[in-house]
Amino acid sequence: MKVQLNTDANIEGNEALSQQVEAIINNTLDRFSQHITRVEVHLSDENSSEKFGANDKRCLIEVRLANHQPIAVSDHGQILQQSISGAAEKMKKLLDTTIGKLRAR
């Protein structure tokens, strides 16, 4: 399962952040890895670095399933870790539902 990290201009996409994101994604979505070809994680700070606000860090996770359309979820948090973990949990629930429906066909 390949994990690709994208950040906006307000978030520094360094190696440490990349490793942290990959660890969260792998730990949360590992049981679906045989169905997933790629995971794209998009991190953004919606208020920019000059302003502060509650839940302004956004994480959008897009999962590409083999031979199917991509699915996506997003979550907001006060810190990046919170938004990444929240989005990963939402994706886990969505994958449970989506893969369950595909197996029922």
For the segment 39-56, the average pLDDT, to the nearest whole number, is: 80
Cβ atoms within 10 Å of 8's Cβ, excluding its own: 13
Mean pLDDT score across all residues of the chain: 92
Q: Output the pTM of the full model.
A: 0.91
User: Could you tell me which residue, 55 or 50, shows the higher pLDDT?
Assistant: 55
Query: What secondary structure letter does DSSP report for 11?
Result: S
For 79, phi and psi rounded to 5 degrees? Answer: -125, 160
Which of 37, 77, 35 minimizes the C-alpha distance to 55? 77
